[in-house]
Amino acid sequence: MRPLLKNLCLAATLCVAGALSPQAAEKPEKLVVGLLPGESAPTVMRLNEPLRAYLEKRLGLPVELVVGANYAATGEALRFGRLDIAYLGPVTYILQSKHSKLEPFARPSHEVVGPTFQAVVIVPADSPAKNLADLKGKDVAFGDPASTSGTWVPRYMFADAGLVSERDYTLRVLGAHDAVALAVANKKADAGGLSMPIYKRLLKEGKLDPNAVRVLAESPAIPEYMWTFRQGLDPAFKEEIRKAFISVSDPEALKVFRAEAFIPCVDSDVDRVRIWVNAITKDRPDATSIVK
């Protein structure tokens, strides 16, 4: 092939490849933000509307919120470039970052506890259980299979108490934190694991009867969820987004996160969760198969 023709073919190939890539490095016409379905999609959208409005004003372009059908769907949408940024729990981030170079950039920080939160295991108020070991042989409800505080941390708590799922208790997947809380309150499950902040908010909003449930166990401190860039996002635009999050001071935009502010974060911030995931998969090697 003649040198000129060869160079033209190579240039055409590179142009086509760039046009087909969903992760080409260019500033998008709008910012597409992915959210996890920790509760119903309408609830998640409503709670995050103040942040959406703030970002739209700060960045000067449309901002669209997208709630995934499940946790894995949100993580995969970010990995494949259908989202620009997403708010991922530690486990969702850990599993998806095995397949793509994702970049965490901000996480909420709270008064007193900093950038951490907790999970709880709750039981019906009249349950005879005094500790997790008393739930051997029982039905335990969990949220989404990839949820950090709705599944993985509670499973770690059970494992630490000597109980392995499907061997010592029946694991029931209900998909969302509020569904878990209501199942326990209505005695459709003997216990349930969920986020402590969501549990408290359900009580505060009157969506959960405080006389129907009680907390049996609280988890260790969990590294907070992380706002994460997709691979290939324009570097200058990433810096705009990063600064927008770190500069948030509007109480309404921070309210759903119960945060004083968003602070910078890096991959190693979730190393503690990696240890917990490894502890679970040691006893149940198939544990991650349902969330890939």
User: What distance in Å separates the CA atoms of residue 241 and residue 84, rounded to the nearest whole number?
Assistant: 10
**Are 118 and 157 contacting, i.e. CB atoms less than 8 angstroms apart?**
no
Considering the domain architecture, whether residues 147 and 75 belong to the same structural domain is answered as no
Considering the domain architecture, whether residues 108 and 229 belong to the same structural domain is answered as yes
In a domain, 292, yes or no: no
Q: How confident is the model at residue 5 (pLDDT cuts 50, 70, 90)?
A: very low
In a domain, 1, yes or no: no
Considering the domain architecture, whether residues 126 and 209 belong to the same structural domain is answered as yes
Domain termination residue (choose one: 196, 220, 244): 220
Q: How confident is the model at residue 3 (pLDDT cuts 50, 70, 90)?
A: very low
Residue 30 carries which DSSP code?
S
Model confidence, pTM = 0.85
For CA atoms 198, 90, 92, 162, give the dihedral sign: negative
Q: How confident is the model at residue 25 (pLDDT cuts 50, 70, 90)?
A: low
Q: Given this model, what pLDDT does residue 289 score? A: 58
Domain termination residue (choose one: 171, 204, 220): 220
User: What distance in Å separates the CA atoms of residue 114 and residue 231, rounded to the nearest whole number?
Assistant: 28
Q: Given this model, what pLDDT does residue 18 score? A: 41
Considering the domain architecture, whether residues 59 and 149 belong to the same structural domain is answered as no
Q: Given this model, what pLDDT does residue 16 score? A: 37
Q: Give the total number of structural domains in the chain.
A: 2
Inter-helix orientation angle 177-185/196-204, to 10°: 60
Considering the domain architecture, whether residues 214 and 228 belong to the same structural domain is answered as no
Which domain CATH number covers 202? 3.40.190.10
Considering the domain architecture, whether residues 103 and 154 belong to the same structural domain is answered as no
Q: Given this model, what pLDDT does residue 63 score? A: 98
**Cβ count near 273 (within 10 Å):** 20
Q: Given this model, what pLDDT does residue 282 score? A: 86
The mean of the pLDDT values for the chain is 91
In a domain, 59, yes or no: yes
Question: Whole domain around residue 233: which residue ranges?
Answer: 31-113+224-281
Structure tokens at 178: 């509020």
| Average pLDDT rounded to a whole number, residues 222-231 | 97
In a domain, 240, yes or no: yes
Considering the domain architecture, whether residues 104 and 231 belong to the same structural domain is answered as yes
In the predicted model, is pLDDT for residue 22 greater than 70?
A: no
Domain termination residue (choose one: 199, 220, 241): 220
In a domain, 158, yes or no: yes
Give residue-wise pLDDT tens across range 241-287: 999 999 999 999 999 999 999 999 999 999 999 999 999 998 887 77
